[in-house]
Amino acid sequence: MAGSQLSSELPPLDALLKRLREEKPLVQCITNFVSMDIMANTLLAIGASPAMVHCAEEAADFQKIASALLVNVGTLSPQWVAGMEAAIGAANKLKKPWVLDPVAAGATPFRTETIVKLAKMRPCVIRGNASEIMALAGAAGATRGVDSTAESEEALALGKQLSLDLGAVVAISGKDDYVINGNSMLKVSNGHPMLQRITASGCAVTALIAAFASLAPNDLHMATAYALGIFGVAAEIAVKKGGEAGPASLRTHLIDTLYTFTEAEMESYNVSICITEPEQ
Ligand SMILES: Nc1ncnc2c1ncn2[C@@H]1O[C@H](COP(=O)(O)OP(=O)(O)OP(=O)(O)O)[C@@H](O)[C@H]1O
Ligand SMILES: Cc1ncsc1CCO
Ligand SMILES: [Mg+2]
């Protein structure tokens, strides 16, 4: 996709991070068994408040006290889908932002059909890796499992189409993250390759997006890029603080770095804006 660089137009970061720590948004997470620990610890470390509440009997009621909803289909079952739909219905009714993580879209018919159904229920942001975004957009054979088999650039055209079709911000994570809002796109180039060797690091950053989305419901595009930027910069710092020893060390130092994270540490935030060609 053609694009022009307009990075000087980016607003400052401080308001969102400061407000997150003051307001401690309560994020209801309906997520997979693998990600629960790292997701809850990521939200707590940055200063938000996680609650893993998924059963159909209480998922909708919990939205009344939550600031945002995260729906992740990683370890799917029909009972969980009922909880997801109940919570999403409540979030939409109460005008709370909800974010979808389409884990392993395309892997099986049940999974793909469920994700497509949820994606039509008006998520404000969808964050997945390139394979997942391409599969959700209808590309055949795009996915092998939870890990991407493609570079994020390969999913740009389908990600843009998905954003226009669903009216949602679509974030494609990878070496570079692309955050697409219709014809406008932000590129975030922070992070570290070892993040791919920590299970559920993508799940965790999607929950971070939900937390920031609750603070900036009218600027979801920027809030999504901030969340990805903070997570990526924190990973770079964590590597230097001892995380280079391996994925387990990086995981620990990443959570520690999010806890102490300051705006000054965002000096390496590497983001740019591209205005992509309008659809013909
Ligand atoms: N090669 C890379 N270099 C730098 N950062 C990366 C790289 N690959 C992924 N990341 C970062 O890792 C985080 C997770 O993205 P990723 O695309 O691996 O998610 P995912 O495949 O959904 O992960 P999971 O399913 O394990 O949760 C993002 O913040 C992303 O920017
Ligand atoms: C490994 C794994 N399996 C289902 S969800 C999940 C976490 C990474 O997406
Ligand atoms: Mg994932």
**DSSP per-residue string spanning 21-48:** HHH--EEEEE--TTTHHHHHHHHHHHT-
**The model's pTM:** 0.95
CB 163 within 8 A of CB 180: yes
Instruction: Determine the Cα angle at 201 with ends 49 and 139, to 5°.
Output: 115
Mutation to probe ligand 1, out of 201, 224, 237, 257 (largest number of atoms < 8 A from CB): 201
Query: Is 60 exceeded by the pLDDT of residue 4?
Result: no
Two structure tokens written together for 272? 């740019």
What's the 185 CA to ligand 3 centre distance in angstroms?
Answer: 21
Share above pLDDT 90 across residues of the chain, in percent, rounded to a whole number: 86
What's the 276 CA to ligand 2 centre distance in angstroms?
Answer: 32
pLDDT band at 263 (very low <50, low <70, confident <90, very high): confident
Query: Is 60 exceeded by the pLDDT of residue 9?
Result: no
What's the 245 CA to ligand 3 centre distance in angstroms?
Answer: 23
Predicted local confidence at residue 140, as pLDDT = 83
Over the chain, what is the mean pLDDT? 93
Q: Is 32 in the pocket of ligand 2 (CB under 6 A)?
A: yes
Q: Is 177 in the pocket of ligand 1 (CB under 6 A)?
A: yes
Q: Which atom of ligand 1 is nearest to the CA of 152?
A: 17
Two structure tokens written together for 15? 């308001």
Q: Is 35 in the pocket of ligand 2 (CB under 6 A)?
A: yes
Predicted local confidence at residue 13, as pLDDT = 66
Which residue's CA is the closest to the ligand 2 atom numbered 8?
200
What's the 146 CA to ligand 2 centre distance in angstroms?
Answer: 6
pLDDT digits (tens, 9 = 90+) for 239-252: 999 999 999 999 99
Predicted local confidence at residue 211, as pLDDT = 98
d(CA 174, CA 176): 5
Could you tell me the residue ranges of all domains in the chain? 24-276
CB 193 within 8 A of CB 201: no
Superfamily of domain 24-276: Ribokinase (3.40.1190.20)
Axis crossing angle, helix 109-119 with helix 78-94, rounded to the nearest 10:
10
Count the helices and strands in the chain (H runs, E runs).
10, 9
d(CA 6, CA 219): 17
